[in-house]
Amino acid sequence: MPVDITAELLASVVGRLRAAGCVFAEDEARLVIEAASTEAELDALVGRRVGGEPLEVIVGWAEFAGLRVLVDAGVFVPRRRTEFLVEQAARRGRPGTVVLDLCCGTGALGLALLATLGRAELHAVDLDPVAVRCARRNLEPTGGRVYHGDLYQPLPVELRGRVELLLVNAPYVPTLEIQFMPAEARLAEPLLALDGGPDGVAVQRRVIAEAPRWLAPGGNLLIETSQRQAALTAAALDQVGLSVEVASSPELDCIAVIGTR
């Protein structure tokens, strides 16, 4: 049973969070209180948040595209801006679409797209075993299959030439800029999920190089990137013969570069 949210308790937790620099202290306080079953546990959870641990890891879930996505410690926390990638994919999908989510993390993208389409043949891959375990918790109840390995390597050969929607939120922070990221990302999330190489596009280029072998005719590869890197991502798509479109959402501060076979 969760702790009762009294005005006094709420004010106390809000005060501690605000003093630690939490911008949305009131909202966070309610979520942390709801996650605790005793006052001792609540004190420990607040202490973790004050210490800089991501809220989503503390409460065990993140809101993404209207869903509660399970989040385990040590896994990349899905960002709200990535909802734009799902929106773009949903516009190009239909019920029963074959979907592949590379660098899947928690599996949030595939989960949200499945909820939008109603049904899909969903495959997801991550190199990090911690992320794979988390993604399986999110996706296997829906019938999705999660593989552990490096990009396309663990996928069944029968999937080649069948993927209609290939979603990629690969790391795209340039290596030397990781030091400037917020501490809760830099310290609590795996470097594997952040480091995009010298120019931030190293992993994306590896994904793009093999994509034509896996995409169905007319299939779409959708990659989240930044305004600064969009031209590099688009150039890599053009080099493998995919037609290129760049979509953006100023509201969500997201760029999606889309290649079509």
Instruction: Write out pLDDT tens, residues 151-210.
Output: 999 999 999 999 999 999 999 999 999 999 988 888 889 999 999 999 999 999 999 999
Q: What is the pLDDT of residues 22-67, one digit of tens each?
A: 889 999 999 999 999 888 999 999 999 998 889 999 999 999 999 9
Q: What is the pLDDT of residues 199-218, one digit of tens each?
A: 999 999 999 999 999 999 99
The C-alpha atoms of residue 158 and residue 238 are separated, in whole angstroms, by 26
In the structure, what pLDDT confidence band is assigned to residue 5 with cuts at 50, 70 and 90?
Answer: confident
The whole-model pTM stands at 0.92
- Beta strand 120-126 pairing with 145-148: parallel
pLDDT at 1 over 80: no
Question: Within a 10 A sphere around the Cβ of 71, how many other Cβ atoms?
Answer: 26
| Consecutive H or E run containing 59 | helix 55-59
**DSSP at 128:** -
In the structure, what pLDDT confidence band is assigned to residue 2 with cuts at 50, 70 and 90?
Answer: low
- Confidence at residue 106, expressed as pLDDT on a 0 to 100 scale: 98
